[in-house]
Amino acid sequence: MAAPAVRAARRWPVLALDLRNRLLRLPGLTQVRWSRYGPEYKDPQIDKEHYRKPVAELTEQEKYDLELRKTQHIKAAPATKTSSVFEDPVISKFTNMLMKGGNKVLARSLMTQTLEAVKRKQFEKYRAASAEERATIERNPYTIFHQALKNCEPVIGLVPILRGGRFYQVPVPLADRRRRFLAMKWMITECREKKHRRVLMPEKLSHELLEAFHNQGPVIKKKHEMHKMAEANRALGALGRARALCCKKQ
Protein backbone atom coordinates (compact mmCIF):
# COMPACT_ATOMS: atom_id res chain seq x y z
CA MET A 1 0.00 0.00 0.00
CA ALA A 2 2.88 2.32 0.80
CA ALA A 3 4.70 1.29 -2.38
CA PRO A 4 2.43 3.02 -4.89
CA ALA A 5 2.52 6.14 -2.72
CA VAL A 6 6.31 6.15 -2.58
CA ARG A 7 6.57 5.40 -6.32
CA ALA A 8 4.11 8.20 -7.01
CA ALA A 9 6.04 10.59 -4.80
CA ARG A 10 9.29 9.75 -6.63
CA ARG A 11 7.78 10.86 -9.92
CA TRP A 12 7.13 14.36 -8.57
CA PRO A 13 9.52 17.14 -9.50
CA VAL A 14 12.53 17.91 -7.33
CA LEU A 15 11.01 21.24 -6.21
CA ALA A 16 8.31 19.37 -4.27
CA LEU A 17 11.07 17.80 -2.14
CA ASP A 18 9.77 18.94 1.26
CA LEU A 19 6.19 18.05 0.24
CA ARG A 20 7.39 14.54 -0.66
CA ASN A 21 9.20 14.15 2.66
CA ARG A 22 6.12 15.30 4.53
CA LEU A 23 3.94 12.79 2.63
CA LEU A 24 6.30 9.93 3.43
CA ARG A 25 6.39 10.77 7.12
CA LEU A 26 2.59 10.69 7.43
CA PRO A 27 1.28 8.22 10.05
CA GLY A 28 0.25 4.91 8.50
CA LEU A 29 2.87 5.12 5.72
CA THR A 30 6.12 3.25 6.54
CA GLN A 31 8.89 3.16 4.01
CA VAL A 32 10.05 -0.40 3.44
CA ARG A 33 12.68 0.24 0.78
CA TRP A 34 14.29 3.63 0.88
CA SER A 35 17.67 5.14 0.37
CA ARG A 36 19.65 7.59 2.48
CA TYR A 37 20.45 9.43 -0.71
CA GLY A 38 18.18 12.35 -1.64
CA PRO A 39 16.96 12.82 -5.23
CA GLU A 40 19.88 15.18 -6.02
CA TYR A 41 22.34 12.27 -5.87
CA LYS A 42 23.13 10.82 -9.29
CA ASP A 43 24.04 7.22 -10.12
CA PRO A 44 27.76 6.58 -10.63
CA GLN A 45 29.10 5.90 -14.14
CA ILE A 46 30.98 2.62 -13.84
CA ASP A 47 31.69 1.89 -17.50
CA LYS A 48 35.42 2.25 -18.20
CA GLU A 49 34.86 2.82 -21.94
CA HIS A 50 32.93 6.00 -21.13
CA TYR A 51 36.01 7.60 -19.61
CA ARG A 52 38.46 6.23 -22.16
CA LYS A 53 37.05 8.34 -25.01
CA PRO A 54 39.53 11.08 -25.93
CA VAL A 55 38.30 14.63 -25.19
CA ALA A 56 38.36 15.59 -28.88
CA GLU A 57 35.75 12.95 -29.77
CA LEU A 58 33.09 14.02 -27.26
CA THR A 59 29.96 15.75 -28.52
CA GLU A 60 28.82 19.07 -27.03
CA GLN A 61 26.15 17.31 -24.99
CA GLU A 62 28.66 14.83 -23.58
CA LYS A 63 31.10 17.61 -22.68
CA TYR A 64 28.30 19.47 -20.93
CA ASP A 65 27.32 16.29 -19.01
CA LEU A 66 30.92 15.73 -17.95
CA GLU A 67 31.20 19.29 -16.60
CA LEU A 68 27.81 19.04 -14.89
CA ARG A 69 28.77 15.80 -13.10
CA LYS A 70 31.75 17.58 -11.55
CA THR A 71 29.35 19.73 -9.54
CA GLN A 72 26.73 17.11 -8.73
CA HIS A 73 26.58 14.73 -5.80
CA ILE A 74 27.26 11.13 -6.88
CA LYS A 75 26.19 8.05 -4.97
CA ALA A 76 28.84 5.54 -3.91
CA ALA A 77 29.07 2.57 -6.27
CA PRO A 78 27.76 -0.66 -4.71
CA ALA A 79 30.42 -3.20 -3.81
CA THR A 80 28.91 -5.80 -6.12
CA LYS A 81 29.07 -3.67 -9.28
CA THR A 82 32.54 -3.80 -10.86
CA SER A 83 34.06 -2.37 -14.01
CA SER A 84 35.17 -5.88 -14.95
CA VAL A 85 34.77 -7.00 -18.56
CA PHE A 86 33.37 -10.32 -17.34
CA GLU A 87 30.56 -8.78 -15.32
CA ASP A 88 27.00 -9.67 -16.18
CA PRO A 89 24.02 -8.00 -14.42
CA VAL A 90 21.77 -11.05 -14.97
CA ILE A 91 24.34 -13.37 -13.38
CA SER A 92 24.75 -10.93 -10.46
CA LYS A 93 20.99 -10.76 -9.91
CA PHE A 94 20.70 -14.57 -10.06
CA THR A 95 23.58 -14.94 -7.59
CA ASN A 96 21.85 -12.54 -5.19
CA MET A 97 18.64 -14.53 -5.44
CA LEU A 98 20.56 -17.73 -4.80
CA MET A 99 22.15 -16.24 -1.70
CA LYS A 100 20.94 -17.34 1.71
CA GLY A 101 21.65 -15.50 4.94
CA GLY A 102 23.96 -13.01 3.28
CA ASN A 103 26.49 -15.68 2.32
CA LYS A 104 27.53 -14.13 -1.00
CA VAL A 105 30.80 -16.10 -1.09
CA LEU A 106 28.91 -19.38 -1.13
CA ALA A 107 26.32 -18.12 -3.63
CA ARG A 108 29.02 -16.92 -6.00
CA SER A 109 30.98 -20.15 -5.76
CA LEU A 110 27.79 -22.13 -6.47
CA MET A 111 27.17 -19.93 -9.51
CA THR A 112 30.70 -20.42 -10.88
CA GLN A 113 30.51 -24.17 -10.27
CA THR A 114 27.18 -24.26 -12.12
CA LEU A 115 28.65 -22.46 -15.13
CA GLU A 116 31.62 -24.83 -15.07
CA ALA A 117 29.32 -27.87 -14.88
CA VAL A 118 27.27 -26.59 -17.84
CA LYS A 119 30.46 -26.04 -19.83
CA ARG A 120 31.86 -29.49 -19.05
CA LYS A 121 28.61 -31.23 -19.96
CA GLN A 122 28.47 -29.42 -23.28
CA PHE A 123 32.11 -30.25 -24.00
CA GLU A 124 31.41 -33.96 -23.36
CA LYS A 125 28.48 -33.78 -25.77
CA TYR A 126 30.62 -31.96 -28.33
CA ARG A 127 33.35 -34.60 -28.20
CA ALA A 128 30.85 -37.42 -28.59
CA ALA A 129 28.99 -35.74 -31.48
CA SER A 130 29.60 -36.04 -35.21
CA ALA A 131 30.81 -33.16 -37.39
CA GLU A 132 27.31 -31.96 -38.43
CA GLU A 133 25.92 -32.06 -34.89
CA ARG A 134 28.92 -30.11 -33.55
CA ALA A 135 27.77 -26.95 -35.28
CA THR A 136 24.49 -27.04 -33.32
CA ILE A 137 26.02 -27.62 -29.87
CA GLU A 138 26.39 -24.41 -27.88
CA ARG A 139 29.34 -24.48 -25.48
CA ASN A 140 29.22 -20.98 -24.03
CA PRO A 141 27.70 -21.27 -20.53
CA TYR A 142 26.66 -17.62 -20.54
CA THR A 143 24.64 -17.94 -23.77
CA ILE A 144 22.99 -21.06 -22.39
CA PHE A 145 22.17 -19.31 -19.11
CA HIS A 146 20.65 -16.24 -20.79
CA GLN A 147 18.69 -18.26 -23.33
CA ALA A 148 17.41 -20.66 -20.66
CA LEU A 149 16.12 -17.82 -18.51
CA LYS A 150 14.58 -16.13 -21.53
CA ASN A 151 12.79 -19.37 -22.40
CA CYS A 152 11.42 -19.57 -18.85
CA GLU A 153 9.95 -16.04 -18.83
CA PRO A 154 6.13 -16.04 -18.86
CA VAL A 155 4.42 -13.65 -21.28
CA ILE A 156 1.29 -13.13 -19.22
CA GLY A 157 0.74 -13.48 -15.49
CA LEU A 158 -2.06 -13.77 -12.95
CA VAL A 159 -2.73 -11.11 -10.36
CA PRO A 160 -5.22 -11.45 -7.48
CA ILE A 161 -7.73 -8.57 -7.63
CA LEU A 162 -10.25 -7.95 -4.87
CA ARG A 163 -13.78 -7.28 -6.12
CA GLY A 164 -16.89 -7.63 -3.97
CA GLY A 165 -15.15 -9.43 -1.13
CA ARG A 166 -13.62 -12.11 -3.39
CA PHE A 167 -10.18 -12.43 -4.89
CA TYR A 168 -10.20 -13.12 -8.62
CA GLN A 169 -7.07 -14.41 -10.44
CA VAL A 170 -6.92 -11.95 -13.34
CA PRO A 171 -4.62 -12.39 -16.37
CA VAL A 172 -2.49 -9.28 -16.81
CA PRO A 173 0.54 -8.44 -18.99
CA LEU A 174 3.73 -8.49 -16.93
CA ALA A 175 6.48 -5.90 -16.90
CA ASP A 176 9.92 -6.99 -18.16
CA ARG A 177 11.52 -6.98 -14.75
CA ARG A 178 8.65 -9.02 -13.25
CA ARG A 179 9.07 -11.63 -15.99
CA ARG A 180 12.81 -11.90 -15.42
CA PHE A 181 12.23 -12.16 -11.67
CA LEU A 182 9.64 -14.92 -12.09
CA ALA A 183 11.92 -16.94 -14.40
CA MET A 184 14.80 -16.79 -11.93
CA LYS A 185 12.55 -17.45 -8.93
CA TRP A 186 10.98 -20.51 -10.51
CA MET A 187 14.38 -21.88 -11.52
CA ILE A 188 15.83 -21.49 -8.03
CA THR A 189 12.75 -22.84 -6.24
CA GLU A 190 12.61 -25.84 -8.56
CA CYS A 191 16.26 -26.66 -7.95
CA ARG A 192 16.02 -26.23 -4.20
CA GLU A 193 12.85 -28.26 -3.63
CA LYS A 194 12.93 -31.04 -6.22
CA LYS A 195 16.49 -32.10 -5.48
CA HIS A 196 17.68 -35.25 -3.75
CA ARG A 197 19.61 -34.38 -0.59
CA ARG A 198 22.79 -36.04 -1.90
CA VAL A 199 22.76 -34.07 -5.18
CA LEU A 200 24.66 -30.79 -5.05
CA MET A 201 23.09 -27.52 -6.18
CA PRO A 202 25.48 -26.82 -9.12
CA GLU A 203 24.76 -30.29 -10.53
CA LYS A 204 20.99 -29.81 -10.32
CA LEU A 205 21.06 -26.20 -11.54
CA SER A 206 23.22 -27.06 -14.54
CA HIS A 207 20.84 -29.89 -15.45
CA GLU A 208 17.78 -27.62 -15.21
CA LEU A 209 19.46 -24.81 -17.17
CA LEU A 210 20.34 -27.17 -20.00
CA GLU A 211 16.79 -28.53 -20.09
CA ALA A 212 15.33 -25.02 -20.14
CA PHE A 213 17.74 -24.10 -22.94
CA HIS A 214 16.17 -26.87 -25.02
CA ASN A 215 12.64 -25.75 -24.00
CA GLN A 216 12.04 -28.81 -21.86
CA GLY A 217 11.93 -29.50 -18.15
CA PRO A 218 9.84 -28.54 -15.14
CA VAL A 219 10.42 -24.77 -15.25
CA ILE A 220 9.17 -24.51 -18.84
CA LYS A 221 6.21 -26.67 -17.79
CA LYS A 222 5.44 -24.21 -14.99
CA LYS A 223 5.51 -21.33 -17.47
CA HIS A 224 3.09 -23.21 -19.76
CA GLU A 225 0.80 -23.89 -16.78
CA MET A 226 0.78 -20.17 -15.98
CA HIS A 227 -0.16 -19.41 -19.61
CA LYS A 228 -2.91 -22.06 -19.50
CA MET A 229 -4.36 -20.61 -16.29
CA ALA A 230 -4.29 -17.13 -17.83
CA GLU A 231 -6.06 -18.53 -20.93
CA ALA A 232 -8.65 -20.21 -18.68
CA ASN A 233 -9.36 -16.99 -16.81
CA ARG A 234 -9.55 -14.93 -19.98
CA ALA A 235 -13.06 -13.76 -19.11
CA LEU A 236 -11.71 -11.76 -16.18
CA GLY A 237 -9.61 -9.70 -18.55
CA ALA A 238 -11.86 -6.68 -18.05
CA LEU A 239 -10.92 -6.50 -14.39
CA GLY A 240 -7.27 -6.45 -15.40
CA ARG A 241 -7.84 -3.54 -17.82
CA ALA A 242 -9.75 -1.63 -15.14
CA ARG A 243 -6.85 -2.09 -12.73
CA ALA A 244 -4.35 -0.89 -15.34
CA LEU A 245 -6.45 2.28 -15.90
CA CYS A 246 -6.63 2.86 -12.16
CA CYS A 247 -2.82 2.55 -11.83
CA LYS A 248 -2.20 4.93 -14.75
CA LYS A 249 -4.50 7.56 -13.21
CA GLN A 250 -2.42 7.46 -10.04
Partner 1 sequence: MRVQIAATMLSRVTRLTSRTRQLDPGRILHTGSRAPQSVAAHLDDQAADDGPRAVSRTSEKDPARHGEQHEGLHYDIPLQDVGTLFPQSLPPRFSMQVKTFGEACLMVRKPALELLHYLKNTDFAHPAVRYVLYGEKGTGKTLSLCHVIHFCAKQDWLILHVPDAHLWVKNCRGLLPSAYDRTRLDQPAEASAWLKNFKTTNERFLSQIKVQGQYVWNKRESTERGRPLGEVVEQGLTRAKSATDAVGVVLKELKGQSRAGGFRLLVAVDGVNALWGRTTLRREDKSLVAAEELALVHNLRKMVRNDWHGGAIALTLSQTGSLFKPRKAYLPQELLGKEGFDALDPFVPILVSNYSPKEFESCVQYYLESSWLQHEKAHTEDGKKQLLFLSDANPGQLERLCAHL
Q: Under the rule (CB under 8 A), what is the footprint of partner 1?
A: 84-86, 112-113, 115-116, 119-120, 123-124, 127, 139-142
> Which is closer to partner 1, CB of 86 or CB of 197?
86
> Which is closer to partner 1, CB of 85 or CB of 246?
85
What is the C-alpha R_g of the chain?
A: 23
2-10 helix and 17-24 helix, angle to the nearest 10 degrees: 170
CB of 138 to partner 1, least distance (A): 9
> Which is closer to partner 1, CB of 115 or CB of 201?
115
CB of 61 to partner 1, least distance (A): 27
Residues 6+ apart with CB under 8 A from 167: 160, 161
CB of 18 to partner 1, least distance (A): 46
Measured between alpha carbons, how far is 130 from 58 in angstroms, rounded to an integer?
51
> Which is closer to partner 1, CB of 148 or CB of 172?
148
Which 3 state secondary structure label does DSSP give 97? Answer: helix
Residues 6+ apart with CB under 8 A from 178: 157
CB atoms within 10 A of CB 126: 13
Pairing of the two strands 156-163 and 73-74: unpaired
**Quick one: which of 65, 92, 73 has its CA closest to 81?**
92
CB of 49 to partner 1, least distance (A): 10
> Which is closer to partner 1, CB of 48 or CB of 224?
48
Cα atoms found within 13 Å of the Cα of residue 173, Cβ hemisphere only: 5
CB of 112 to partner 1, least distance (A): 4
> Which is closer to partner 1, CB of 119 or CB of 150?
119
CB of 108 to partner 1, least distance (A): 10
